[in-house]
């Protein structure tokens, strides 16, 4: 069975490990037919292209971020953590930071690109913006996603449709916050997501539960 891999992982990875998840997935799962990677920061995007060079026949790389509308947005760069880039000012916490302009594209429209009937693996790590993007993805996409990894960071976030996020979680039989192995209810995941104590964990979703 041929698969799709959607990654928004490079927003918050170190330059030395840009596209690491994508590289490892392509090496470990040879039947991935297509990869869509989104990285709005120009310097990080150049490193991403270098790291994925052997697989560019299967990888489409986009120098832009996903948001609720197409246009230009402020992008924050943490001076104390070279892995912390975010659309959210709250992600900078007390660190000094700089700001650049990046291009954003409408998530609902862009995510339709991913639909061709193949199963999808979805990976995002967007420094507090994961829940927002997930709820903006075209709903039909979630019919095809059999596994997803999201970073859930408990910081103040912009408005997103909490009920829509809960419905997406309910599509998956397995909901685990790494490194813990307990399978969580939708309510438990939501309670963690809505906190504001600055802790963060990766949420793994899959169907069926494995």
Number of domains present in the structure of the chain:
1
Q: For residues 110 and 63, give the distance between their C-alpha atoms in angstroms, rounded to a whole number.
A: 13
Q: What percent of the chain shows pLDDT beyond 90? A: 62
Distance CA 21, CA 108 (A): 24
d(CA 103, CA 125): 18
Shortest CA distance to 25 belongs to which of 50, 59, 1?
59
Does the pLDDT value for residue 10 go beyond 60?
A: no
| CA torsion, ordered 86, 159, 162, 118, to nearest 10 deg | -50
Distances (CA, A) of 151 to 121, 134, 178, 183, 199: 15, 11, 10, 17, 11
pLDDT at 124 over 50: yes
Residue range(s) defining the domain that contains residue 92: 3-206
> What is the CATH classification number for the domain harbouring 62?
3.40.50.150
pTM of this prediction?
0.90
What would the pLDDT profile of 22-75 be if each residue is shown by its tens digit? 888 888 888 888 889 999 988 889 988 988 999 999 898 999 999 999 999 999
pLDDT value at 99 more than 50: yes
């Amino acid at each position: 069975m041929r698969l799709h891999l959607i990654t928004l992982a490079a927003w918050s990875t170190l330059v030395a490990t840009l596209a690491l998840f994508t590289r490892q997935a392509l090496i470990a799962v040879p039947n991935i037919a297509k990869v869509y990677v989104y990285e709005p920061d120009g310097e990080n995007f150049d490193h991403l292209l270098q790291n994925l060079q052997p697989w560019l026949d299967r990888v489409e790389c986009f120098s832009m971020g996903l948001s609720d509308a197409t246009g230009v947005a402020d992008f924050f760069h943490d001076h104390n953590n070279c892995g912390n880039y975010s659309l959210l000012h709250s992600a900078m916490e007390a660190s000094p930071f700089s700001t650049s302009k990046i291009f954003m594209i409408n998530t609902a429209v862009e995510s339709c690109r991913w639909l061709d009937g193949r199963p999808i693996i979805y990976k995002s790590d967007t420094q507090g913006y994961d829940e927002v993007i997930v709820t903006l993805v075209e709903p039909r996409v979630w019919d095809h996603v059999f596994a997803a990894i999201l970073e859930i960071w408990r910081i103040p976030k912009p408005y997103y449709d909490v009920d829509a996020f809960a419905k997406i979680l309910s599509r998956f039989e397995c909901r685990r916050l790494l490194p813990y192995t307990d399978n969580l209810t939708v309510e438990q995941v939501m309670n963690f997501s809505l906190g504001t104590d600055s802790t963060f964990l990766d949420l793994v979703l899959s169907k069926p539960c494995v």
